[in-house]
A and B are shown apart, each in its own frame.
Chain A
Amino acid sequence: MYRLMLKDLRLHKRFVVGFGIAYVIYLAIFHSRANNPGAVSLFGAFLYAIIPLLIFTREDKFKAAAFNLSLPVTRKEFLQARYVLGWLVMLVLYAGTSLLTIAIPGTKLGLSAIFQVKLVLLVIFFMAVVFGLLMPLVVAFGFAGMIVFLVFCQVLGILFLFLANLFRPAISAAIRAIGEFLGPVQAGLGPAGSAATLVVVLLLFSYGSYRVCLFLFERKDV
């Protein structure tokens, strides 16, 4: 497992370090100027999740998949290493960016703003969702798949915005209804309970994504 992760890190050394550092600095500066820690953090979460995927799809570009899978590894081990590595990269990026954001002079976000438990959980949850959704797409369709999905999301987003404008009252009502439903549920669970539920959902979702990926990956012709 470690050896597989190390392999990916060694092979993509330049990309990970170069791109990663630039990324972190850019995001930290961006964060430090933001007024709303929530939105900015979620945006960051999305970006953290993309980086490992970019690393994995680099392989696509070089057609190195055949080489990788001819090494003495099973496809399962290969995929597991990718999930673990992906998470490590995301968490390191998140931690790095957060710390740098606090350290930048003139930052609007302090320690307490960045490390609110709720925010942290939300960021992690969001990373899990993006990573978990995109991994099977990447496994099945490679880099192209990821791009297509992201474009699709953009289109969906625009569509949503458009529809939201048209059906504002109905949507507001819907959102209120969901809020009214979730509110008591959340209150009932209490802060610890909500956090725990979130973590459980996150884990289930990630596991589900892994199983889908494994199914696709083991059947893929390389």
Chain B
Amino acid sequence: MMEYALEIKGLRKEYKGFTLKDVSFALPRGTIMGLVGPNGAGKTTVIKLILNLIRRQAGGITVFGEDVIAREKVIKSRIGFVLETPSFVEDAKLRDIAAAVAPLYERWDGTLFRSLISEFGLPLDKKFKKLSHGMKMKFSLALALAHEADLLVLDEPTSGLDPVFRRELLERLSGLIQDEGKAVLFSTHITSDLETTADYITFLHAGEVVFSLPKDEIHETWAVVKAGPELLNGKLRPLFRAIRETPHYIEALTSDIRTLKAALPAGAVIEKASIEDIMVFMDEGAAHV
């Protein structure tokens, strides 16, 4: 059995004002990976490349060991997707959309679909355009889940959703990978989504992968150090990924607190770096380093 549900190697995509460079990471089966980064980091680009919606300049993507371009149809029949802004023919009824899409999937399970619809409280006879954003998202999810996909690829599935549904969704995803053969990749810029169920986190910034690690390892190796201006001295400074100055102290982000610990000045405070901390630091702090 293929160990990885998704493997991306050296991916490159060039746009006029933005380039995705040398993106590599792997999603093992039976796990959930959060693809996180600020807006514009390239998350949607990566997902579009996985779904072969856009062309890459370099690199390779395989899903369950098969190339996404060469075996496009077979792979897509195993992928459940939710795109950023769910868009369908707006004036079609939900019922019609489902009827249109179902025959294209071999493993479509009508009973499962109907139970999801009733669980999500979706009115099948309403036109898609009449739904609220949250309902549109839920409908997209129902479609993605109804054909027993082995890999779920979700682009910002929680944006615009209330915390209650967000929690329910994450629980559902975690329930899904009770089946060790399945895997989930979801992108988000809402970092609190990841702090619970994600197993791996890949952090994208300005088109590059900053890290792709098991979530626990991030908490053990990344940290925020707070101290006086000694932190800025020649020897220490290059060891930090980003630095911020506040009126009372200097804050610095490090990706290797274990080795750094010994070199820190006395009185320095070390704190766990949350994903949000990392994201904020990398975005503004990078300029200072």
Specify which chain B residues have a CB less than 8 angstroms from the CB of A15 in the assembled complex. Answer: 91
Specify which chain A residues have a CB less than 8 angstroms from the CB of B51 in the assembled complex. Answer: 66, 69-70
Q: Do B89 and A63 touch (CB < 8 A)?
A: no
Quick one: CB contact mask for B31-75 with A, threshold 8 Å, 1 for yes?
000000000000000001001111100000000000000001111
Given contacts A14-B92, A69-B53, A222-B53, contact A64 B103 (CB under 8 A): no
Quick one: CB contact mask for A76-88 with B, threshold 8 Å, 1 for yes?
0100000000000
Q: Do A58 and B100 touch (CB < 8 A)?
A: no
Quick one: CB contact mask for B73-92 with A, threshold 8 Å, 1 for yes?
11111010101011111111
A74 within 8 A of partner (CB): yes
A204 within 8 A of partner (CB): no
**Set A7, A13, A70, A77: member contacting B83, Cβ < 8 A:** A70
Q: Do A6 and B103 touch (CB < 8 A)?
A: yes
Q: Do A13 and B92 touch (CB < 8 A)?
A: yes
Specify which chain B residues have a CB less than 8 angstroms from the CB of A10 in the assembled complex. Answer: 92, 96-97, 99-100
Quick one: CB contact mask for B93-118 with A, threshold 8 Å, 1 for yes?
00011011101110000000000000
Whole-angstrom CA separation of A150 from B105 in the bound complex: 38
Q: Do A70 and B100 touch (CB < 8 A)?
A: no
Q: Do A11 and B88 touch (CB < 8 A)?
A: yes
Q: Do B100 and A14 touch (CB < 8 A)?
A: no
Specify which chain B residues have a CB less than 8 angstroms from the CB of A12 in the assembled complex. Answer: 89, 92
A181 within 8 A of partner (CB): no
Given contacts A70-B83, A219-B55, A221-B55, contact A58 B89 (CB under 8 A): yes
Whole-angstrom CA separation of A72 from B102 in the bound complex: 11
Specify which chain A residues have a CB less than 8 angstroms from the CB of B86 in the assembled complex. Answer: 67
A-B contact count, CB below 8 Å?
A: 80
**Set B52, B85, B91: member contacting A63, Cβ < 8 A:** B85
**Set A4, A14, A67, A222: member contacting B91, Cβ < 8 A:** A14
Q: Do B101 and A72 touch (CB < 8 A)?
A: no
**Set B53, B54, B92, B104: member contacting A73, Cβ < 8 A:** B104
**Set B53, B55, B100: member contacting A66, Cβ < 8 A:** B53
Q: Do A72 and B88 touch (CB < 8 A)?
A: no
Specify which chain B residues have a CB less than 8 angstroms from the CB of A7 in the assembled complex. Answer: 100-101, 103-104
Specify which chain A residues have a CB less than 8 angstroms from the CB of B48 in the assembled complex. Answer: 66, 222
Specify which chain B residues have a CB less than 8 angstroms from the CB of A187 in the assembled complex. Answer: none
Residue of B nearest to A222 (CB): B53
Specify which chain A residues have a CB less than 8 angstroms from the CB of B88 in the assembled complex. Answer: 11, 62, 64, 67
Q: Do A70 and B89 touch (CB < 8 A)?
A: no
Specify which chain A residues have a CB less than 8 angstroms from the CB of B89 in the assembled complex. Answer: 11-12, 58-59, 62, 64
Whole-angstrom CA separation of A14 from B219 in the bound complex: 54
Given contacts A10-B96, A10-B99, A62-B90, contact A71 B53 (CB under 8 A): no
**Set B81, B90, B92, B96: member contacting A70, Cβ < 8 A:** B81
Given contacts A62-B87, A66-B83, contact A72 B55 (CB under 8 A): no
Q: Do B73 and A64 touch (CB < 8 A)?
A: no
Whole-angstrom CA separation of A67 from B77 in the bound complex: 13
Whole-angstrom CA separation of A6 from B97 in the bound complex: 11
Specify which chain A residues have a CB less than 8 angstroms from the CB of B75 in the assembled complex. Answer: 72
Q: Do A73 and B73 touch (CB < 8 A)?
A: yes
Q: Do B83 and A72 touch (CB < 8 A)?
A: no
Whole-angstrom CA separation of A13 from B89 in the bound complex: 10
Q: Do B96 and A72 touch (CB < 8 A)?
A: no
Shortest CB–CB separation between residue B34 and chain A, in angstroms? Answer: 20
Shortest CB–CB separation between residue B207 and chain A, in angstroms? Answer: 16
Shortest CB–CB separation between residue A81 and chain B, in angstroms? Answer: 11
13 sampled A-B residue pairs with Cβ under 8 A = A10-B99, A11-B88, A11-B89, A13-B92, A14-B91, A62-B88, A62-B90, A63-B85, A64-B87, A64-B88, A66-B83, A69-B51, A71-B104
